Structure 1
Amino acid sequence: MAPNHLLRNLLTESGWTGQKLANHTNDVGAEAGLRLRYDRTSIAHWLSGARPRPPVPELVAEAFTRCLGRRITTADAGLTPATAVAPPPSWRADIVTELRKLCRDGAAHRRTISGCVYSLAALSLPGWGDLATAGVTARPADHGGRLERADVDAAQTMLELFSAADLTFGGGYVRPALARYLQTTIAPWLRLDAAPAVRTDALITAAQLSYLCGFLCFDDELHGVAQRYYLIAARLSHDAGDALHYAISLRALSVQARMLGHRTQAVDLATTAARALPVHAPPLTRAFLTGQVAAAEAAAAEQHHAVTHLRAAEAYLERACDTTPPVGTYHPAALSHHHAAVHACLGDRGAAVSALTQSLRHRPEAERRARAITLARLAELHLDAGELDRACDAWSKFLDEYPYLRSQRAETALATLRSCLRPHTAYAPARSVTHKAAELYRARAA
């Protein structure tokens, strides 16, 4: 085997040791649902010419991309032949083919679809104004049928059903069924002849369903797959000429980036999304996007801007009189959750606790998953403040909701609960909650 000089050059440029590269590779893998344990010995093997199996080369390339601030390919790292590297995805690529392939690969159990790499390079998306002259992607028509208004109405009903099921039971229950629906029904429809108004509404509905499938993957902590669904939703929104749903897709990418710690990208995406909103956008949607701008800015330590946008989100929500849509839901509980995120980032734990408590008070009964995740976060804040009894109470309520959910975020919250309470099991309330959590964990694993 020939030594991998390209990989060594990237290590030198980044200033990383072999162990540092191993750690970052493991971290990027965790975002893709992989549990990796690479160390400096593994890197030494790669430097000597060994090539790890996919998707590890993609993980290494993404780690260097984040560090160096430019796109690094697997070939740049010497981990695949140059001829094996696919060109970066083009905005002009056939979106129907891309959607069908993603749905086929992303419909199975989460263990079989982990490894799709989350990419910072993919977040360099244009503003809506920059897309105005890009035109709509042409698609070969399937002359075997015609798309009618009734078909689009049916798809909207399915969107509402999938969305309601997700809110109550979590993404794990809904994701495989929605992916198959997109693959077998929605994607083929996009090639059928249709009246212009019907085609536009079909594209918007397809974008909404893709967005929702992305969120289900996000809930299952499959971030690479989620990102690809969000990008498809943005593409479909563009093809429909719909700036509002393009903005909503960019907001979703901002939420994901913030949760993964990519703060600069989260702010850029959130502000680009807000600017993309058309003048006729309803106040509810403006609140939905502006609240995320505030949360992203708070995470990036832009305190003044965060507070200003949080107040703007409040004002927009006060003016909202439109009904809550299946995609882009926003209400007082969601606003309070944004308050909590901003205050937590600004170091005001008391205000964050108060906001989460208010969020729970306003949370609609059907939104079980959001209520559970909020309770888990509230418990962590109480524990950080040394309020063990309150933390145990919140975690106990979280455990009441947990059995109804199939959500990797809920699984992560359960693991955090067990880890945080382990040092406190001598205290009876903590011991009781820990025992309850262990029983639920065993029941889920059986």
Structure 2
Amino acid sequence: MGTSRTPNRALRGLLTQTGWTEDQLARRVNALAAESGLVLRLDRRSVAHWLAGRRPRPPVPGLIAEALARGLGHTVTLDDIGLDPRPPAPGGRGPAGGHGHTDPERRRLQAPDPATALTHLARTDDHPQGGPDDVYSLAALTVPTFEQATSGQPGAVPAPRTPPAPRLPAGAGPVVAAEQMAGVFSDLDTSYGGGHSRKALSTYLAYQVMPHLRARIGPALRRRLLSATNQLVYLCGFMCFDNQQHALAQRYYRVALDLATENNDPAAYAVTLRAMSVQARALGHYQHALALAETAAATSRAVAPVRQAFLYGQVAVATAATGARADALSALSTAERRLDQTTSRTAPGLDDTTPPGHYHAAPMGHYHPAALAHQQAAVRALLGDHDGAAAALTTSLRLRPPAERRSRAITTARLAELQLQRGHLEQATRTWHSFLDDLPHLTSARATAALNCLRSKLQPHATHVTVKALLTRAATL
């Protein structure tokens, strides 16, 4: 922390506006840190130090600003809380660069083009600076529709072109390589989890893809390169989500939206919105999750039926999380009908041309009957039908392609939890053993969280002979 002893009246004033105690602010900052994959143990004494004039180390200032923004219902900047580390601009009118006083819309309009933003993000994603962009932000969940983004209507995300650069040697080699690498990284993520190769992917984006994205190439090749880059960026965001690095995931998703906008790709835009909805629901932001899912579905008229099913399935889950039973079941029925319309219903990819039975780990999401059954289970569980949820998870596991190890593990763990909740201890124990079969192969914070859940839920039954054996095995992992 810094050594300044000037009381922070700005922070004190905002804390008074929320009506929170110092302990309440500390707990909210700790919770936000967990959203970003961090572990903090702040308490009222920490807040007292801030109020007395000490400056917390990054990324705590950004977490404080986000916590107060959520409590007050409007944007709060680092300058607003008296913790902007940048020097004042000439004339004493706020921090140099002006970001401390700009509203979200102006900040978005001043944002760099996707290539510049991605280069910075991919090269610095393990080095948070403590600013607002290093925190999972609810304000960043307010996004335009695809039509707004591509037409320049108010609220649209701009899609500036990259500046001219030297022309690459003739040929599509770099583009084909990026397309193939999207499939390679997707397969790795599916089989080994998001933490396995995310750093390799971010490095590949920064040092292999970005130079080509900045270069002058023909329009047809550029569209292909933008599409492949979009897939890689989306996948990097999902890997971060799987590893519970939520602030970083959100930043990658926002770049993916900008790439889809520049490439005039409504399908990629909609699938990215869906991913943001999944993340928001996982973090408990149910209304934001529903708004994102509905915006994604509104874009789906321009995409194939299998993608429509993919999007409407998330609408169903997000709606069920808000308790709207009839609307959730209606959206789920739409997803089921759309999947039935596909010509390759048994194919796990999102490409209607994939031959039946041939596995294709689509970089921007896999949707097939196993995925639909998983969504059916989520909807039923959220609506209180735990028997139906367990049956749907069983179906999902039966239909799940063998290569989808991470999804199988998380689904298996969830099934065991439901079985235990329904009072079937021995059955749950057997199911959890299946989960442990997959776990050693995975580098996934979601899978680790499922392991911790296993230990917690079975601790009251630790003397049971089969549970004891399971806990002993889990302790070795």
Aligned to 1:160: 183
Q: Is the CA contact (8 Å cut-off) linking 2:167 and 2:217 kept in structure 1? A: no
Asked whether 1:190 is paired with 2:233, we answer no
Following the alignment from structure 1 to structure 2, what is the Cα–Cα distance between the partners of residues 90 and 80? 19
Q: Provide Cα deviations, 1:341-366, integer angstroms capped at 9, x if missing partner.
A: 11111111111111111111111000
- Give me the whole-angstrom Cα distance separating, in 1, the residues matched to 2:455 and 2:281: 25
- Equivalents in 2 of 1:148, 1:126: separation in Å? 36
1:283 corresponding residue in structure 2: 305
Do the aligned residues in 1 keep the contact of 2:419 with 2:428 (CA within 8 Å)? yes
Quote the residue 1:49 is aligned against.
Answer: 53
Q: Give, in whole Å, the separation in 2 of the partners of 1:222 and 1:69.
A: 24
Which 10-residue stretch deviates more, 209-218 or 188-197?
188-197
How much does 1:79 deviate?
2.3
Distance of 1:133 and 1:339 partners within structure 2: 36
Q: Letter of the aligned partner of 1:158 in structure 2?
A: M
CA deviation vs aligned residue, 1:346-397 (integer Å, no higher than 9, x gap): 1111111111111111110000000001111111112222221122111111
Question: After alignment, is 292-301 or 149-158 more displaced?
Answer: 149-158
Among 280, 294, 303, the residue aligned to 1:257:
280
What is the match of residue 61 of structure 1?
65
CA apart distance, 1:277: 2.7
Does structure 1 residue 307 correspond to structure 2 residue 323? no
Which residues of 2 match residues 211-250 of structure 1 at below 5 A? 211-250=234-273
Q: Equivalent of 1:132, from 106, 128, 150?
A: 150
**Which amino acid is 1:434 matched to?**
L
Alpha-carbon contact 2:113-2:159 (below 8 Å) kept: no
Note if 1:202 corresponds to 2:220: no
Instruction: Write the distance in 2 (CA, Å) between the matches of 1:331 and 1:381.
Output: 23
Task: Kindly provide the CA deviation profile for residues 313-348 of structure 1, in whole angstroms up to 9, marking residues without a partner as x.
Answer: 000011112136332310111111111111111111
Instruction: Indicate the percent of aligned positions where both proteins have the same amino acid.
Output: 47
| 2:185 alignment partner, SS class | helix
Residues 147 and 23 (structure 1), Cα distance of their counterparts in 2 relative to 1, 3 Å cut = farther
How many Å separate the matches in 2 of 1:117 and 1:193?
Answer: 34
Instruction: Write the distance in 2 (CA, Å) between the matches of 1:320 and 1:68.
Output: 46
* Residues 286, 318 of structure 2: 8 Å contact kept: yes
Aligned twin of 1:83: 95
- What is aligned with 2:120? 101
1:27-57 alpha-carbon deviations (Å, 9 max, x no partner): 0001111111111121122122222111101
State the secondary structure of the residue aligned to 1:34: coil
Q: Which runs of 5+ in 2 are unaligned?
A: 86-93, 153-157, 344-351, 355-359
Using the TM superposition, give the Cα deviation of residue 69 of structure 1 relative to its aligned residue in structure 2, in angstroms. 1.7
Q: CA deviation at 1:144?
A: 5.0
- Tell me how far 1:146 sits from its aligned partner: 4.5
Question: Counterparts of 1:220 and 1:72 in 2: how far apart (Å)?
Answer: 28
Give 1:124 deviation, angstroms.
1.2
Q: Deviations 1:111-151 (Å, cap 9, x if unpaired)?
A: xxxx9311111111101111232364121122152574332
Counterpart CA distance in 2 for 1:138 and 1:260 is: 34
- Give 1:204 deviation, angstroms: 1.3
**Alpha-carbon distance in 2 for matches of 1:148, 1:127:** 35
Shift of 1:153: 2.0
Give the letter for the 1:395 counterpart.
W
Contact 1:148 1:194 in 2 (8 A): no
- Select 1:6's aligned residue among 4, 7, 10: 10
* 1:341-356 correspondence to structure 2 within 5 Å: 341-356=378-393
SS in 1 for 2:13: helix
- TM-score relative to the length of structure 2: 0.87
User: Which residue pairs with 1:173 in the alignment?
Assistant: 196
Deviation by residue 1:139-188 (Cα, 9 ceiling, x = unmatched):
11221525743322221111111111111111111211111111111111
Cα distance in 2 for residues equivalent to 1:403 and 1:106: 26
What is the CA distance between 1:90 and its match in structure 2?
Answer: 2.1
Gaps of 5+ in 1: 441-446
Structure 2 distance, partners of 1:136, 1:121, is 20
Conserved? CA contact 2:290–2:315, under 8 Å: yes
What is residue 443 of structure 1 aligned with on the other side?
A: none
Q: Partners in 1 of 2:422 and 2:16 — Cα distance?
A: 43
Distance 2:62 2:126 in 1: 22
Distance 1:380 1:79 in 2: 43
In structure 2, the CA distance between the partners of 1:222 and 1:147, relative to structure 1 (3 Å rule), is farther
Whole-angstrom CA distance in 1 between matches of 2:170 and 2:55 = 48
**How far does residue 240 in structure 1 lie from its aligned partner after superposition?**
0.4
C-alpha distance in 2 between matches for 1:232 and 1:290: 23
Distance 1:291 1:147, change over 3 A: farther
1: CA distance between counterparts of 2:438 and 2:400? 14
Cα distance change of structure 1 residues 146 and 246 upon mapping to structure 2, 3 Å threshold:
farther
Amino acid at match of 2:22: G
Could you say which residue in structure 2 is the equivalent of 1:444?
A: none
- Secondary structure in structure 1 of the residue aligned to 2:38: coil
Q: Is the 8 A contact 2:297 2:311 kept in 1?
A: yes
- Within 1, Cα distance between the matches of 2:43 and 2:159? 47
Query: Is 1:117 the equivalent of 2:135?
Result: yes
> What CA distance in whole angstroms lies between the structure 1 residues aligned with 2:170 and 2:309?
34
User: 1:404 Cα shift?
Assistant: 0.8
SS in 2 for 1:73: coil
In structure 2, distance between residues paired with 1:35 and 1:152: 40
2:37–2:245 Cα contact (<8 Å) kept: yes
2:377 maps to which of 326, 340, 350: 340
- Whole-Å Cα distance in 2 between the matches of residues 107 and 156 of structure 1? 25
Between 1:384-393 and 1:327-336, the stretch displaced more is: 384-393
Matching residue within 71, 75, 84 for 1:71? 75
For the 8 Å contact 2:232–2:363, the answer to whether it is kept is no
| In structure 2, C-alpha distance between the alignment counterparts of 1:277 and 1:194, rounded to whole Å | 30
Aligned-partner SS, 1:193 = coil
Q: Does 1:409 align with 2:419?
A: no
- Aligned pair count reads 434
Quote the Cα distance in structure 2 between the aligned partners of 1:152 and 1:192. 12
Q: Which of 269, 294, 297 is the equivalent residue of 2:319? A: 297
Partners of 2:325 and 2:169 lie apart in 1 by 53
1:306 offset after TM fit, Å? Answer: 0.8
User: What does residue 413 of structure 2 align with?
Assistant: 376
Shift of 1:5: 2.1
Aligned partners of 2:380 and 2:301: how far apart in 1? Answer: 30
